[in-house]
Structure formats: C-alpha cells, structure tokens
Amino acid sequence: MPHSTYLPEQMGTAVIEPQGAFEAGSFASFTLTYTAGLFGIDDTGSIKIVHRFASDMGRTQFDDPEAPNYVTVEASNQAVLDVRYDIKHNIRPWDKTLYIKVVQGFLREGDRIVVRYGDMRRGSPGIRLQTFCEDTFEFRVLVDAIATYNYVELPGSPVIAIVPGPPAVWKAVLPTLKPAGEPFELRLKGEDKWGNPSDRCEGTFRLRADGPLTGLPESVTFSPGEFSRTIEGLGASTPGDVRVEMVDADGKLLCRSNPLRIEAQPRLLPFWGDLHGQSEETIGTNSARDYFAFARDRAYLDACCHQGNDFQITTGFWNHLNELSEEFNEDGRFVVFPGYEWSGNTGLGGDRNVLFMEEGRQIRRSSHALVDDLSDIGTDANSARELFESLANEDCVVFAHVGGRYADIVMAHDVRLERAVEVHSAWGTFEWIVHDAFEQGYRVGIVANSDGHKGRPGASYPGATLFGAYGGLTCMLARELSREGLIESLRKRHHYATTGCRMILDVRARFDDGAERFDEDPALGAGGSRKVSAAMMGDIVRCADGEVTFAVEAVTSAPIERMEIRNGVETLETVRPYGEADLGNRIRVIFEGSEYRGRGRQTIWDGGAKLSGNRIERLQPINFYNLEKTVDQPDDTTLSWKALTTGGFVGFDLWLADRDAGSLSIETALVQCQLEISDIGLEDSKFEAGGIGRRVRVFRLPDDNGAMRLDVERRIALKSGADDALYVCLTQEDGHQVWSSPIYVIE
C-alpha cells in the first residue's frame, strides 16, 4: 500500500479482545487498544482503523448508546479526540475508516487509545459483524504520529475470524443436461441465513427423485464440519427431465434441485459459469486461491474467471493469477480463464472484462493508479478504444460490464472482441445496456455474472451493503467443457444469462424456406455460411421469409410468473402459464428500477401499505436478500418495509382473505397510490417514478401456481431495414430472471 514506510516498528501496537472466531452477521463487542510507540502522537496527529471496501460490518455510530453499532473512543491520558467515520476515507481497498484525531493534547509512548466496537455498557446489542466469512478479518491500524497526515501502517494489526452460522436453507445442484447412460453427481449443501455454506450441518435426510434415476440413495447424512455432500455414480438411461428433492424426518421439503435433462445424443451441453469476481488482492475478500476453490467446491460451477480491477493488479499478482488459472483449469471438470477487469473511467469507456485463452498474456491496464511499479506503464490502454486496439491480435473475448463505472458501448465497441454485454451482476440488473447494443446495431450475446467482492463466486449473496442483488450466472452451450469449447460458445453467443438460478432454456427460430447462417458476424467482412432450416440463440442468419416460427422451451427451478418475447427493444408478447380464470386472492407488489446509470443508482423504496376492507392472510417477500431490509406486518391490514433496488426488483406477495373487497394504498417517497382490490388483475398496474425503469407494479397471481415448464411457438413478422433480435426474458415467481441471447435475423 502507498503509505509511508518510516519505522513502522516504532509506531506502536494494537490488540483486540476478545479474539477468536465469530459467527457471520452476529452481534459482538470488541475492545481495540492502541498503545503509542516511540513518537507518541503529536497534537493534530491521528490514527485510522480501516476495513475493506467489501466488508458490510454494521456502520459505526456514536450517538445512540442503546442502538446497534455504537462505538466509543477515549484516550488514557484524557487527550481530547475528534472521532469520525467515513466509508471512503482511505486508499482502496481499505476504504472504510474510523478516523481518530488528537485535537487537544498529545500522546506519549505508552499512552493508549481505547476503541470499543459495539459498546454494550449502555444497552447496545453490539456491532453487527460482516455477513460473509473470512479467516483473517483485519482491523488495520494506520498511524500519523508526527501530524503530517502521512500514515504508517502498523506491522501487525488485530485479526479475528468470521465463520458461518447454522444452516437456514438447503441447496441441491444437478447438472443441467447429460447424455443417457453417462454418470453424474448430485451436490448438496446448507447455507446460513446470510448465504454462507455452513459446516454446522447435521442430520440424516431422505432423497427422492421425480423421474427415473439410478444410484440415488434413500438418504444422506451430514456430520458437523462438512460443508457439502456429493452423491456420485448417478445415472439415467431414459430421456426426460428429473429433479431431486431433500426432505427431513418429518417429510418437510427442504430443497428441490434444478431440473436435469437426459437426452440420447445432445449436440451441445450446458455449462454454468461466473466469469467475473474479485479477491482480497484487489477489492474482494479472501485469497485468489480461495476464490477458485469456492467456485469449484462450494458453488459447483463448471467455469470461472478472476476479474480484478486492473489498476490494482501488480505484475507479481498478475503472474500469480496466471499460475492459479493454469493450476485450477481441468478439462471436463472445471475450466478457468486467465483474465482481468479493464477498469477505465466512465468517460474513457467504462468497465470491460477480458478473458484470455491462455496464460502469459500482457495485461493492458486502464491506469497504474494503485500500482507503484511504473516500469511497464507503456503497456497501458487508457481508453476503451486503446484497449480494443491492443487486443486486436489476442486470442480473447471481451464483454461490457456495469459496476461502479459503467461500460459506454456507444462510445467504444469492437465487434471482433466484445461479444456480449452483462445484463446482471451483484450491482443490479441493467437491461439498458442490452438496449444500447440494439440501438447501435450491435450483435451481441447476453451474459450475467456476480462481480462478487465477498469471496463467493457462483453463489454471491449481496449481504448488507450497497450491492442490491444476488450475483448472476452464465449458461454456455458448448461441445465440451474446455477452454476451446467455452470460448467458442462465447464467440457464437450460444449462451443465456440468469440472476443466479439454474434452468433449461432452448430458444430457436425455424424458417419456411431455409436461411443462411453465418459462421461470423457479416459486419466483420468475409466469412463462411451455410444453409439451415433453424437457428439457435446467438446465431446470425439471413432469410427471405417475411416471418419466422419462434419456439421457446423453458424448464425452470421455480414456478413461472411470465415470459416476455422480445424483438430488440420491443416486447412483442407477454406469455403467462395461466389466464384470467386462474387468478386467485394473491396480489404481487413490485418495486423496480434505478436512479441513473452510475454509482449512485440505488433507489430507496422504504415505505408502507394499508389494506382497507380486507385482511392479509399470508405474506411472502421477494428478493429481500439483505436481512436488515425487511417487510414487517404489524397487523393483518398493515405493512411496512425497508427496500432498495439497483436496476432489478424487490417486492412481496399478499394472500387476501377476500378476493375482491376493499382497497390497497401504497406510500413511498417516490410513489403514493391507491388501488381498488377488484381492479387488480392479470396485467400490471404501473406507477412510474422517473429514473431508469423506476416504478411500482401491482398485479394478481393464482393462489398456487405450479407451472415450471413453458413451451411456446409464435409466428413473428420480420422488420424491414433493420436487424430482428429475437429473444426472451423469463421471470420466475421466486424473483429470478433469465435472458436468452438473441437470434439475429438480418436482411
């Protein structure tokens, strides 16, 4: 870190009590004692106690001694201290800062500053610890002993361990497609209430399948200390779809797996990847080695890539990442790409993700902002245009990302390299970047990843900070699980994106008189083509027909709420697996959208609702991953909530005592509305709130919707003079969404 290195061993010491391991997201109290070194601390000198950007430990407060996260600070010699907290008062990734300045007096060697985090002496429950696990959660201490505002980092700072709690939910993961007769595995785990895989699972649970499956045991036993269980040697010889359920001793359903399809001879296989996340060497949590191990062994991914911010990647770390990608990459089991996030300023093009086919390639940084060694500054690519120029001869793919900085694909795009846009990550959901691509005439695929900072690639819960969503996944349809197979899938746009669920999606177009399918985008110039009667997601075809048959098959992991059939920015039809006659007493209220494209996109939806002339019999929140933001029901007619969106949506379902009686009023800072219950139907009632897609939607659902499969065929008239970009967006009742990459029909 670029702090002073002047005599750190003379700048004092810091210790913390108690030490040891503490449950993620729990409340605790700690006393950190800083003892001044040789120089003491002069008048107007200060110390900083800093935590990582990724940490979502409860925000320090000094005003309410009975409330959570109350912190007190005092000097042993009664020096007067100015104490402040700022989430960005130090150099990243150690941004979050408790700043303690001596404003009257000074400290001599041996004098102490005592900081009580979560001071319980006056009634506070303590400080809420970060919600994700870390073996070395550090209270890093920096000292400005000589009042120059030039800080020295102590050579040793206090460390505790953050460990998982008991299981709150269970997960079962199967492959998505397997050839008949080929063996496969079922993987099972428990996650604590914050989404951490738990090693405190215990008990014997029954397993059952809803289709023919060989080798499935009647039960599975978890013992304390185990993070997961793998059932090997499963098989199926009969084509069809199957799910596995895990139930407890009382017959209660604990979890249901994603659907698995058995086919006789599949041409392409689906492989799941999270191709975007970071570790502690940049702005994330836990080591890069831990990152890849989690992706493979705890999230059950098929593919992964580390995407650290380039301006924090030293040459040594870049070499280490390349060593790790080579070590973890194993064809047929787990594919790892070497890569990085090009993190240019928004005005220079915004974030891009680079995935290389092989190790040893030159990293082209957007800057050396946090890399002190400038010996290779000549290799930098400061703008997105320069990045594309520098990668012109590389064997790589690029996709556009929306994070703190957002990719401006109108400013810069290279059809040779930038094959996809990222519609979703832990930062939120960003359909506007897909629309940008359509409006510019680009032919891109759609991916989703996590950009996770909490050490959980492939199972990236947002925790309790500004991240507003569960991290996404990309399903790549490929010939084989290898770098060659997956890169081919990405280049051909043969993939679909989800907000984290795993499901089966097949999207095709059929042509009455055949079509010409291009091996490459014709915008690149000469390339091969062939005559076909049908196209799959991602294909670029030319046909003379005035219309095509568009066919969708979806087998989902939760009941289907709706599917939108789209042509570019236009929604052609909203398809639901139910009709007006199926609607019941269930009302869904949705809050969605964002303030704008940049960092401050968060929209606060805190508010309440009042039901008049009716009663609430049941309440179910949707997408409330942050447990500090909840929907509360004081009585059977009243709701209150704390919620935010960052482009996606949150909401809740209400089952009412009477189907049509009374009215519902909703009150938030952005939207105030009232609806008659009898007027709420199949179609959305919308209340707009500016921003980007920012609105409240209210509609009615069946009381119990069991539809987890949708087969649709439609005749779609083709446009004249522009590409047809045919794709779907499917929404599940549990809040997850899925986007297919478009089929591009060109003139």
Q: What is the DSSP secondary-structure string of 652-704?
A: EEEEESSSS-SEEEEEESS-EEEEEGGG--SSPEEEE-STEEEEEEEEEE-SS
Residue 213 pLDDT? 93
499 in Cβ contact with 736 (< 8 Å): yes
Relative to beta strand 96-104, strand 46-51 is antiparallel
225: buried, middle or exposed (CB in 10 Å: 19+, 13-18, 0-12)? exposed
**Domain boundary residue, one of 232, 248, 266:** 266
Task: For strands 445-448 and 418-425, give the pairing.
Answer: parallel
Kindly calculate the radius of gyration of the chain based on its CA atoms and give it in whole angstroms. 27
**129 neighbors 28 (Cβ within 8 angstroms):** yes
Q: Are 398 and 390 in contact (CB under 8 A)?
A: no
Residue numbers of the domain that contains 17: 8-163
Both 180 and 90 in a single domain?
no
CATH number at residue 281: 3.20.20.140
Report if residue 25 sits inside a domain.
yes
Structure tokens at 303: 């593919």
Token readout for 614 is 């009716």
Domain assignment present for 317: yes
132 near 456, Cβ under 8 Å?
yes
Q: Which of 113, 138, 163 is the last residue of a domain?
A: 163
462 prior amide bond cis, ω within 30: no
| Boundary of a domain, candidates 266, 281, 313 | 266
Q: How far apart are CA 223 and CA 203, in angstroms?
A: 7
151 inside domain: yes
Considering the domain boundaries, does residue 177 fall inside one?
Answer: yes
Beta-bridge mates of residue 631:
641
Judged by DSSP in three states, 386 sits in helix
| pTM of structure | 0.96
Q: What is the DSSP code string of 178-194?
A: EETT--EEEEEEEE-TT
Coil, strand or helix: which one is 21?
strand
How far out from the chain centre does Cα 543 lie?
Answer: 38
Q: What is the full DSSP assignment across 127-159? A: EEPPSS-EEEEE-EEEEETTSSS--EE-SS--E
* Tokens read off for 155: 């050579």
**pLDDT value, residue 1:** 52
Write the burial class of residue 686 (CB in 10 Å: 0-12 exposed, 13-18 middle, 19+ buried).
middle
Whether 341 contacts 401, CB under 8 Å? yes
594 with 610, same domain? yes
On the question of a cis peptide bond just before residue 93, with omega within 30 degrees of 0, the verdict is yes
Q: Are residues 185 and 279 in the same domain?
A: no
- C-alpha dihedral sign at 529, 533, 537, 542: positive
Q: Residue 372 class from Cβ within 10 Å (0-12 exposed, 13-18 middle, 19+ buried)?
A: exposed
Angle made by CA atoms 280, 291, 157, in degrees to the nearest 5:
30
pLDDT, residue 414, reads 97
Strand 13-17 with 27-28, pairing: unpaired
Residue 636: both structure tokens together: 């059977």
CA dist 608 to 62, 541, 591, 709, Å? 29, 50, 12, 35
Q: Residue 152: give its domain's CATH number.
A: 2.60.40
* Nearest CA-CA partner of 287 in 324, 330, 328: 324
In total, how many domains does the chain have? 4
Based on the domain organization, do 144 and 177 belong to the same domain? no
The predicted pLDDT at position 526 comes to 74
Judge contact between 83 and 75, C-beta under 8 A. no
Does one domain contain both 247 and 317? no
How far apart, in Å, are the Cα atoms of 679 and each of 278, 610, 664, 700? Answer: 47, 16, 11, 10
CA distance 716 to 711: 16
Same domain, 365 and 243: no
Whether residue 510 is contained in a domain is answered as no
Under 8 Å between Cβ of 180 and 12: no
In a domain, 159, yes or no: yes
Give the strand pairing for 335-337 and 303-305: parallel
User: Is 440:432 a contact under the CB 8 Å cutoff?
Assistant: no
DSSP β-ladder status, 159-163 and 352-356: unpaired
Q: Which helix (H) or strand (E) holds 483?
A: helix 483-491
Count of CB atoms situated within 10 Å of the CB of 506: 17
Q: Which two tokens stand for residue 619?
A: 């309440």
Ranges of the chain with pLDDT below 50: none
Q: Are 380 and 487 in the same domain?
A: yes
- Specify the pLDDT at position 527: 83
Q: Let me know whether 180 and 215 are in one domain.
A: yes
Task: Tell me the C-alpha distance between 157 and 135, whole Å.
Answer: 14
Is there a domain that residue 65 lies in? Answer: yes
| 414 and 374 within one domain | yes
Does any domain span residue 534? Answer: no
Find the CATH number of the domain harbouring 220: 2.60.40.1930
User: Which residues face 672 on adjacent strands?
Assistant: 667
Token couple for 1: 């870190």
Q: What is the pLDDT of residue 256?
A: 97
* Whole-number Å distance between alpha carbons of 547 and 299: 42
Closest CA to 154 of 32, 37, 56, 25: 37
Instruction: For residue 395, list its beta bridge partners.
Output: none
Which CA distances in Å does 501 have to 448, 460, 474, 738?
11, 12, 10, 8
The pairing of beta strand 638-641 with beta strand 529-536: unpaired
Residues 673 and 618 in one domain: yes
Paired tokens of 202: 């215990």
DSSP conformation letters of 546-583: SEEEEEEEEE-SS-EEEEEEEETTEEEEEE-SS-GGG-
Do 326 and 440 share a domain, yes or no?
A: yes
Question: How far is residue 630 CA from its own chain's centroid?
Answer: 20
Identify whether the C-beta of residue 347 lies closer than 8 Å to the C-beta of residue 405: no
User: pLDDT at position 389, please?
Assistant: 98
**Residues 312, 424 within the same domain:** yes
